[in-house]
Amino acid sequence: MALILNKSLYLSLVATYAMSDLRKISSRFVLFFIFFLGFWVLKAQNNYSVDSLLQIVNDAQKSKLDRINTYNLLAERLMNQQPAQALEYAQMALEIAEKENLNTEKAKAYQHIATIFRKQGDYPKAMENFLKAQSIYEQLKDIKQLAAVYNSIGTIFQLQSKDKEALEFYQKALQNAESVKDEAELAKIYNNIGNIYFNENKNNEALNYYNQALKINQKLKKYAIAAENLSNIGSVYMFSEQLEKAINFYEQALELHRKSNNLEGEAAIMYFMSGVYLRKEEVKKAKEYAQQSLRIADSLNIKVYIRDALERLSDLYAKEADFQNAFYYFKLHSQYKDSITNEYTATNITRLQFGYELEKKQAQIDLLDKDRQFNSFLQYGMLAGLSFVAIFIFILYNNYQKQRRQSIEVMEANLMIQLKNDLLTEQKEIIERKKQDIDSSILYAKRIQDAMLPYENTIAQYIPDYFIFLRPRDVVSGDFYWFTVTEPEATYAINPDIGGKPSIFKGFSSEKYVIAAVDCTGHGIPGAFMSMIGHSLLTEIVNEQKITEPDRILNVLHLDVRKNLKQAEQQNYDGMDLAICTIDPEAKILKYAGGHNPLIYIQNGQLFEVKADKFGIGGYQTGLERIFTKHTIDISIPTTCYIFSDGYQDQFGGKEGKKFMKKRMFELFLKIHHLPMQEQKEIIEKNFNEWSGEYAQVDDVLMIGFKF
């Protein structure tokens, strides 16, 4: 798969992995593997090889019952190594059993078909076939087989994170297995109940049930199923951070799986081992185990195993900073995840379960109908001459039928409501997960943007009395402030003896401070992208090109924005408004230039507004060249300055819900300018909050104040 990734996509992927919860990801996978390991082992007495079984089904002398049982045995034997072939044999057994009306054999075939579909992640088809088997066993009153079916249905519900429904079926299975003293089935049920406690992080309870299951399987010499119990115990120790114990139990389980040629079990253990070594920070070893798990799962076409092995590999490659492979495996994981856990799966399982209950109710109603018809027949025979009694009974019967139809309609309506509620709940969870991912990415972007801004203690070294009030409308901002100190440069006087060229060294120029308040087009994510461009260009113009005059800075910045955004060729009108000041502390001079955003300064109690040019940086431009104007201000007397974006003055609020406006803002400046700058910031922020009241913030807000 060829993938072309940009840098921002890499960063988003890394942020997602950095904030993921390892236990949440891994424990969900552990539960999937725990369930899929169940019901795969053959019964001890079935020691025929696959070849000998195939000879039986090809023997024309064999009875149809023998052939059905052999097909079922082949399906059971091959479902862990060749699931597609196993499904064919189970369907052959079902076809013959249906023709011969052999219910027990038919139910077994349904069980095998359901188990294969469950292993492949097709839960609706699995549930459909388990319910068919359940219906037959209920008719036959086969308590032992019902326990197995109830247990299987419970696993499907738990795989759908419906632990409450799963536990109900496990309890039914437990009751049936205990009544017939079926120790083998009890072991499976104990194992599954242990899974529920494991999912709820109740490790001691989970270990208790797993050990009960292990004890029974060792007693019955069912070592292949005992491997499952060992791997479950290993998982408990893994999530308890007892990693060496976990490795010990996993290795015991792996040895038993290999002896039994259980490839599915091997895939599970390989994944678990990768999780242990991931926790031990041995990434290379963790990756080797995850790749082995993926290779085996892919050969068996077990989508759930493939999905989670891909997720693990994506995580491991991200840890190695191999972002191309990390994203490659992440995309594959998403495809498998979508194919397994879509809304069709969840809603169809619910529909199948409710449909089965509805059929049972209908059967009960039909039975009542037959009893009523029989009673009516006797009454008609005894009271043939009493026509009014017949009419009365007929009316009662019609009323009953009407009530029955109404009951069914109510039941169907309730079913549809339940299905819709389930669908809405699932959609809500999907939206919440996507929102959480987006929020995580935006918070990561905010950290990058915050790191871009100059440290305020750096500014304080050169301008001790200042404040910066920055409040983004969203998490990230289109407004940003920028500050730098220029390096002193050598200066030369003109030497008349060599043609009037500046060649006589005079000394070094004084360092200058350059400070800007910038308002980019838009806010939120689009504004944040523009702020990154603006910050980068200002740094290049002033620090690398050594341009310090504010009007020249803006002239070059305008051309660079248009060039970088290809605004001459494309209909892209993004840009920025700003006010920028260059301060010469030695000469006591401040030089200002601005696009749309003015400079306000106060001297001797009088407020002055230095108006900006009526065009900004970048954006739409006619044929005329933009030349920004430079203004020079003497700051040899005490001077208080303010530069800002338009967010503060444009904020709606007050009793009438109007904008704050420039005039009111200038009056506020004049009222507080004599106070220390940090105290001014507190007043400005408090005033903004009180003015906004219940009105939402309409734009990013940036205001910078400083005095000399």
Per-residue confidence band for 42, with pLDDT thresholds at 50, 70 and 90 = very low
pLDDT at 610: 97
- The answer, yes or no, to whether residue 83 has pLDDT greater than 50, is yes
Which tokens is 307 given?
A: 């999905």
Lowest mean pLDDT among 79-83, 438-442, 456-460, 671-675: 438-442
Instruction: Look at residue 338 and tell me whether its pLDDT is greater than 70.
Output: no
Query: What angle (nearest 5°) sits at the alpha carbon of residue 459, between those of residues 458 and 463?
Result: 135
Copy the structure tokens of residue 664.
């009111």
pLDDT tens for 157-195 read 888 888 888 888 998 888 898 888 898 888 889 999 988
Tens-place pLDDT, residues 468-518: 999 999 888 889 999 999 988 766 677 666 666 666 666 667 899 999 999
Confidence band (pLDDT; 50, 70, 90) for 402?
Answer: confident
* Predicted structure pTM score: 0.43
Give the per-residue pLDDT at 218: 87
Q: What is the mean pLDDT of residues 104-123?
A: 89
For the chain, domain boundaries: 41-181, 348-448, 455-707
Over 80: is that where the pLDDT of 129 sits?
yes
Going by C-alpha positions, the residue among 403, 414, 544 that lies closest to residue 487 is 544
Lookup: tokens for 238? 């893994």
Which pLDDT score, from 0 to 100, does residue 23 have?
Answer: 38
What is the arithmetic mean of pLDDT over 679-699? 95
Of residues 242, 224, 226, the one with CA closest to residue 234: 242
Please state, in angstroms and rounded to a whole number, the distance separating the CA atoms of residues 339 and 345.
9
* pLDDT tens, residue by residue, 260-271: 888 888 898 999
Mean pLDDT along residues 59-73: 78
pLDDT of residue 678: 95
From the list 627, 479, 624, 454, the residue with the least C-alpha distance to 557 is 627
Instruction: Tell me the percentage of the chain whose pLDDT exceeds 90.
Output: 35
Contact 480, 527 (CB under 8 A): no
Q: What is the mean pLDDT of residues 214-234?
A: 88
What is the CATH code for 455-707? 3.60.40.10
Between residues 642 and 656, the one the model is more confident about: 642
Model confidence at 670, in pLDDT bands (50, 70, 90)?
Answer: very high
The whole-angstrom separation of Cα 230 and Cα 237 is 11
Would you say 561 and 576 are in contact if contact means Cβ atoms under 8 Å apart? yes
Give the residue-averaged pLDDT of 280-305.
Answer: 89
pLDDT tens-digit profile of 600-613?
999 999 999 999 99
pLDDT at 477: 87
Identify the band that residue 623 occupies on the pLDDT scale cut at 50, 70 and 90.
Answer: low
Q: Are 516 and 580 in contact (CB under 8 A)?
A: yes
227 close to 253: Cβ distance less than 8 angstroms: yes
Buried b (16+ CB within 10 A) or exposed e, 209-227: bbebbbebbeeeebbbbbb
The β-bridge partners of 379 are none
List the beta strands (DSSP E) in 486-588: 490-495, 501-508, 513-520, 575-584
Query: Per-residue pLDDT for 40 more than 60?
Result: no
pLDDT band at 410 (very low <50, low <70, confident <90, very high): confident
DSSP 560-581: HHHHHTTTTTS----EEEEEEE
H-only helix segments in 453-491? 456-462
Would you tell me how many other CB atoms lie within 10 Å of the CB of residue 340? 18
Measured distance CA(490)–CA(486) in Å, rounded: 13
Domain 41-181 has CATH 1.25.40.10: yes
- Alpha-helix residue ranges (DSSP H) falling in 320-386: 323-340, 343-382
Is the Cα torsion angle 40, 45, 47, 51 positive or negative in sign?
negative
